[in-house]
Chain A
Amino acid sequence: MIDLEFVINTLSLGSLYALLALGLVLVYGILRLVNFAYGEYVMIAGYAIFLSATYLNAPWYLTLVLGVFAAIVVSYLTEIIAFRPVRTKSVDALIVTSFAVSIFLQNVVLIAVSPRAKPVPLPSFFSETVEVAGGTVPVRNLLVIVVTAVLLIALSLLMKKTVVGMAMRAAADKFTTTRLMGVPANVVISTAFVLSGLLAGVAAIFWVSRSASVDPLTGTGPLLIAFICVVMGGMHSTIGAVVGGYVYGLVFNVLSLTLPASMVSYRDAFMFGLVVLFLLFRPAGIIKGGYTEERVG
């Protein structure tokens, strides 16, 4: 029963979730902030694709670029405008701020665009299927695997080979000491938000392609999934987030296959149950990180 189709579908789901989780954990690693506005970056990217396609008549590739760009810009701006002023205050202040940003962004699109779902046009090849080893697989699923692999490689090169990457890893370990090297705190934090926005933006393309629509509450799903992946994989390392993403994809697809038809719609309940088990028996997640719990001061 483990056929190639299952493997590809699991990898594709896992890839999407890994992207989402990684974007959440990058900011957490530096600021110790669970950014509850993270899902809104996905939502904003969806709207940017919708708006640029509908009002600018932009070709599909341009709409996708604009979508990712919008997520990056909004992520960066939320850091500058909302998080930076409260950064040296308590973690509680940061978390409450992230809720505020989330509610604010949802209401901006609700008022400025519409409370109703809007169609997101994606290139037709997204929904086409190809024959792979006797099974039919949507092109979209192959695409997300490739795009994720490329992004993960690029990101790990950035983290390992560049000074900014080194500084980010150092800052996730010891933030104050990193500043003592002369690395500006703002650069490290802004970079984390830009990368977080980039990952959310790319993930958004594949997230909205499932329903081909976007509405003001589109961000809640990605946020929840990213959060679950991070709890399962481990909050303290980027590897943990990626592992969590693929584990989520695997468990979810196994449940889809093995649960009786009447219970398949309760897959999410099983996933939440799994999270509870993790929190009870392995709160550090699959990959335990060695990071200290230092707060940004």
Chain B
Amino acid sequence: MAMLTVENLEASYGAVRALNGISLDVAEGELVALLGINGVGKSTTLKSIMGVLRPTKGTITFQDKDITGRRPESIVKRGISLVPEGRDIFGTLTVEENLRLGAYVGYKRDRYRADLEEMFTLFPILKERLHQAGGLLSGGEQQMLAIARALMGHPRLLMLDEPSLGLSPTMTDQIFELIVGLKERGSTILLVEQNAERALDIVDRAYLLANGEIEHAGTPDEIKRQVNVASVYFGDETDGDSCEVEQ
């Protein structure tokens, strides 16, 4: 049974239509990817699910509850967490304060302490940087902090928006390994990626977006049979972002 179901979702930025009826679902324990090149509506879909953007049409159901058009804070309470594109670390807050805000919903002191220790095991670098300002971390460290911050809230569904964007190849490997690890721990994950080839290696199912619509859907094998992923979606020539390397 699906944990998250999105049906005929439409959304616009002012007069510009960004989503033309997206339907997708994610089952508990699944790792699902939303793929496509820049500007096809991947982030918009996540923002609509999260309540940051109010959909103009369609429904979003999470654990049998209609959450369409609810406020972000109430959606977070229900158990969805988004690691935003560009990481969005609170640069003026310390690493610890970032993590503390991640644990804002349902905060319990004992659990918070235990969760912190768990994050230090997952991301040892965060322990070293605990009292530094988040803005002083490198891109990769910020991505780790953003994921850790989201995990502190014990989300039932974790949504990651382009976690590898702007990271070095080594760091990208680490992030993908981490996603696999999280899935093995039982997390349900909706992953947005431009790096379709990499993503298809690790996910259970994927949706391919183009022009605000789902073009293809299925298991990685099915997707690979339907389209030439490398040429169309990996976008070696067209995707300028993949050249942006940050240590």
Q: Which of A169, A170, A181 has the most CB of B within 10 A?
A: A181
A172 to B135, CA, bound (A): 14
> Taking the complex as formed, is B76 at the interface, i.e. its CB lies under 8 A from any CB of chain A?
yes
Q: Give complex CA distance A185, B52 in Å.
A: 12
Determine the chain A residues whose CB is within 8 A of the CB of B71 once the complex forms: 179, 184-185
Minimal Cβ-Cβ distance residue in B for A176? B52
Tell which of A166, A176, A177, A184 touches B100, judged by Cβ atoms closer than 8 Å. A166
B73 touches A174 (CB 8 A): no
Does B91 belong to the interface (CB within 8 Å)?
yes
CB of B73 within 8 A of CB of A163, answer no
Asked if A290 CB lies within 8 Å of chain B CBs, one says yes
State whether the Cβ of A253 lies closer than 8 Å to any Cβ in chain B.
no
Total residue contacts A-B, CB cutoff 8 A: 70
Measured between beta carbons, the chain A residues less than 8 angstroms from B92 are: 169, 172-173, 290-291
Instruction: Report if A163-B101 is in contact (Cβ < 8 Å); known contacts: A170-B90, A179-B71, A181-B149.
Output: yes
Q: What's the Cα separation between A297 and B90 when bound, in Å?
A: 18
Q: Which residues of B lie under 8 Å from residue A180 when comparing CB positions? A: 50, 52, 72, 76, 81-82, 84, 88
Q: Could you tell me the distance between the alpha carbons of A182 and B105 in the complex, rounded to whole angstroms?
A: 6
Asked if B73 and A184 sit within 8 Å, CB to CB, the answer is: yes
User: When A182-B76, A185-B73 are in contact, do A177 and B84 touch as well, CB less than 8 Å?
Assistant: yes
Most buried by B among A167, A170, A184: A170
Chain B 145-160 interface 0/1 with A at a Cβ cutoff of 8 Å (1 = within): 0000100010000000
In the assembled complex, A8 has its CB within 8 A of some CB on chain B: no
B93 in the interface, Cβ–Cβ < 8 Å?
A: yes
**A138-190: which residues lie under 8 A (CB-CB) from chain B?**
163, 166-167, 169-170, 172-174, 176-185
Do residues B91 and A167 form an inter-chain contact, with CB atoms below 8 A?
no
* Residues in chain A near residue B50, CB distance under 8 A: 180
Alpha-carbon gap, A181 to B88, bound state (A): 11
Given contacts A163-B104, A183-B104, contact A177 B73 (CB under 8 A): no
What is the number of residues of chain A that contact chain B, defined by CB distance less than 8 Å? 21
Q: How far is the CA of A176 from the CA of B91 in the complex (A)?
A: 14
**In the complex, what's the smallest C-beta–C-beta distance from A240 to chain B, in angstroms?**
13
B97 at the interface (CB under 8 A from A): yes
* Closest partner residue, chain A, to B77 (CB atom): A182
**What residues of chain B lie closer than 8 Å to A167, measured between beta carbons?**
101, 104
Q: Which one, B88, B97, B107, contacts A177 given CB within 8 A?
A: B88
On whether A170 and B93 interact (CB within 8 A), knowing A177-B88, A179-B72, A180-B82, the answer reads yes
Cα–Cα, bound, A291→B107 (Å) = 27
With the chains together, A177 CA to B91 CA distance in Å?
Answer: 12
CA distance A184 to B101 in the complex (A): 12
* Chain A hits for B93, CB < 8 A: 166, 169-170, 173
Determine the distance from Cα of A167 to Cα of B98 in the docked complex, in whole angstroms.
9
Shortest beta-carbon distance from A91 to chain B in Å = 16
Interchain CB contact (< 8 A) of A181 among B52, B104, B135: B104
| A176-B52, A297-B52 as given contacts; A182 in contact with B73, CB under 8 Å | yes
Residues in A whose Cβ lies below 8 Å from that of B139: none
B133 CB to nearest chain A CB (Å): 9
Q: Which residue of chain A has its CB nearest to the CB of B97?
A: A166
Nearest-CB distance from A159 to chain B (Å)?
Answer: 10
User: Which residues 157-195 of B sit at the A interface, judged by CB distance below 8 A?
Assistant: none
Chain A residue nearest to B87 (CB atoms) is A177
B220 within 8 A of A: no
The residue in chain A whose Cβ has the minimal distance to the Cβ of B52 is: A176
Nearest residue in B to A291 (C-beta to C-beta)?
B92
Q: What 1/0 mask marks residues of chain B from 65 to 105 whose CB sits below 8 Å from any chain A CB? A: 00000011100110001101000101111000100111011
- Provide 18 A-B residue pairs closer than 8 Å at the C-beta atoms, listed in order of the A residue: A163-B100, A166-B93, A167-B101, A169-B90, A169-B92, A174-B88, A174-B90, A178-B90, A178-B101, A179-B72, A179-B73, A180-B50, A180-B81, A181-B105, A183-B73, A183-B104, A185-B73, A291-B92
Give 4 closest A-B pairs by Cβ, nearest first. Answer: A182-B76, A182-B105, A177-B88, A179-B72
Which residue numbers of B lie inside 8 Å of A, CB to CB?
50, 52, 71-73, 76-77, 81-82, 84, 88, 90-93, 97, 100-102, 104-105, 107, 135, 149, 153
- Supply 16 further A-B pairs (C-beta < 8 A) apart from A183-B104, A185-B71, A290-B92: A163-B101, A169-B90, A172-B92, A174-B90, A176-B72, A180-B52, A180-B76, A181-B76, A181-B102, A181-B104, A181-B149, A182-B73, A183-B73, A183-B101, A290-B135, A291-B92
